[in-house]
Amino acid sequence: MATTPTREVARRVFAREFNDAGYTFKESDDDRAPVYLLLPTGERANRVFVVGTLTETEDVGEDSEYWQGRVVDPNGDTFFMYAGQYQPDAASMLRDLEPPAYVSVVGKPRTYETDDGEVNVSIRPESITVVDAATRDRWVVETAERTLERIQRFDDDANEYAEMAREQYDLPVENYRRAVVGALESLETDGEAEASASTS
């Protein structure tokens, strides 16, 4: 009996960790096997779920529309996403949206190598949704929790993806603990600014 492939869980990740990732792999030789991005905290990601401020959109296509969007997370780090004719819904959202706007994005990580041999990571969006500040704040808290869980499991000998991350990346996971702290502190700062604005 053939099993229908289940959609992969969309991983929550801050831009600092996402942009540090660059190693992709498959778990089988099947042509249709999912391609995973290895996160430096020792987790595989076939899809990601990010929320932040859409700060810029631009049609960077030459022959046909190919939209680039920049989404900034609470630490000020940027996710880049690209949508063209094969992602019509996402492309039309990037065409129509007026930055700045809070957006949630679910999509697949894509890597490409630059001429000087660096690997850049971007998101190929499956969906882009305009959200409110409360949704953004909730994503920050939940992403902080997921990131800390991955950091706690990083030294577990049975964690094969952490082992792989140690081999592929020479990056201390403390970097991502700092990203968590910075993101949570930004929420407190935002909350204080809103409170003082509403009382003044």
Q: Using 50, 70 and 90 to split pLDDT, how confident is the model at 189?
A: confident
> Tens digit of pLDDT for each residue in 27-48?
999 999 999 999 999 999 999 9
Q: Is 112 helix (H, G, I), strand (E, B) or coil?
A: strand
> Which helix or strand (DSSP H or E) is residue 151 part of?
helix 133-153
Q: Are 161 and 169 in contact (CB under 8 A)?
A: no
Q: Write down the mean pLDDT value for the chain.
A: 93
Q: How far apart are CA 97 and CA 92, in angstroms?
A: 8
Sorted by where each starts, the structural domains of the chain and their CATH numbers stand as: 10-193 (2.40.50.140)
pLDDT for residue 197: 56
Cis peptide leading into residue 100 (ω within 30°): yes
57-67 pLDDT, tens digit per residue, is 999 999 999 99
Q: Which two tokens stand for residue 185?
A: 């502190």
DSSP state of 115: T
Per-residue model confidence as pLDDT tens digits over 172-181: 999 999 999 9
Quickly state the pLDDT bin for 1 (edges 50, 70, 90): very low
pLDDT at 195: 60
Length of the chain counted residue by residue:
200
Asked if 120 and 79 touch (Cβ cutoff 8 Å), the reply is no
The span from the CA of 46 to the CA of 37, in Å, is: 6
Distance between CA atoms of residues 71 and 103, nearest Å: 8
